[in-house]
Chains A and B, each alone.
Chain A
Amino acid sequence: MPFAMNVSSVLSALLGLNRAGRILYTSLFVLAVPVMLAWFVLLPRLQFSEADERLFRAARHGDLAGVAQSLAAGGRIDAAAPIDGKTAIFRAAVFGHPDLVSDLLKRGADPGVRGRDGKTVLEVVTAARLEERDATRARALDAVAAALRATESQR
């Protein structure tokens, strides 16, 4: 009989029916907040290394050699920026560097990543293209969009 009683008390705890169960579920709810915060905010910030920082800087400037160097130094190609959650390919794309965008895609960058605003690279570039009035920059953005669409159709 003690065995059966144990089983029933564990069961009712798991269902949250007795005191132990209430304590269990309350602590789970309370702990969930800091855990989620650590997972989604703190961890990406901690993981973002100096090599990632250099990768992003090179991506913003369309610097192919710089990207190769920072990747060799341990930069992760799909590292998410700590604040907006976007990856290096976003930076290369918005500043109109089609060569670098193709290079990053060839190296295995994921074009389907969404930033914290929920948009993919192609969506961001399309939105930017709509408000671009300068002809040279518009052409660069078109080239970036073409490079992104090319990989999309390959998949």
Chain B
Amino acid sequence: MRQQQVIGFLFVALALGCSRIETPPQGGDPERALVAATDLRDVAKVQGLLVSGADPNRMVQHEGHSHSAWSTALQKFRPGHPEQVEIIRALLKAGANPDAAWGTSEGSGTGPRARAVGTMEPLFLAMLHPDPQVVQAILATKRNAVGGETSLVMAIESGQTRIAHLLVEAGVDVNCHPGANTPLLAAIEARDEAMMVYLEEHGAREKP
């Protein structure tokens, strides 16, 4: 009797656990066209497809991997291409999730785990090829988008002053401690005196 209860309990726990795993959103033909247009940086076509209802968050197979238009736009972004910023703005306006982008991560190395399908943080993806306009577009959609703290430390470490200012102005805590470093320690390690003063003005401390 007791064994049955234990097994029953385990079964319920398993079911509860599985229900929390998000199923990857799969798209159809409109999404396939949207991902292709995003990859080709065709602003007009992207806007047209979005108007006709293509979902930027749904994944399709593209170049052998699962990608949503949203993850494609962020991962293929390179600074100095205004049309890509246009596309990112259009996707956000059409409901791209500022907290999560479904797609295949561009992992390093080989093996089954190097490329994993799942959600990535848009702000984090934006920091791989940083451009203030992209960060601003995400923060304009959601002020406290996921990944702001990590992005702030990354921005300070790589000397992206404008992006760091945008994140602090959007309300990211200057005394956050997302990884090994706080923003202030990142500024100290980068020996960025102006950034250090800016963070101090916003209340950054050695003991966060």
Residues of chain A whose beta carbon lies under 8 Å from any beta carbon of chain B: 45, 48, 52-53, 56-57, 60, 81-84, 91, 94-95, 128, 132, 137
Contact = CB atoms under 8 A, between A and B. Distances in A.
A53 B206 contact: yes
Contacts of B181: 83-84
Interface in B186-206: 188-189, 191, 193, 196, 200, 205-206
Given A53-B205, A60-B196, A83-B206, A91 B188 contact: yes
A128 B191 CA distance: 9
Interface of B: 177, 181-182, 185, 188-189, 191, 193, 196, 200, 205-208
Chain B interface main SS type? loop
A94 B206 contact: no
Chain A interface main SS type? helix
A83 B185 contact: yes
A125 B54 CA distance: 55
A57 B200 contact: yes
A83 B191 contact: no
A114 B4 CA distance: 58
B188 A48 contact: no
B191 A81 contact: no
A56 B191 contact: no
B193 to A, nearest CB: 6
Contacts of A81: 206-207
Contacts of B193: 95
Given A82-B206, A83-B185, A95-B196, 8 more contacts: A45-B207, A53-B207, A60-B196, A81-B206, A83-B181, A94-B188, A94-B191, A137-B191
Contacts of A56: 206
Nearest to A46: B207
Contacts of A84: 181, 185
Nearest to B204: A57
A39 B163 CA distance: 38
Contact of A83 (B182, B196, B200): B182
B206 A95 contact: no
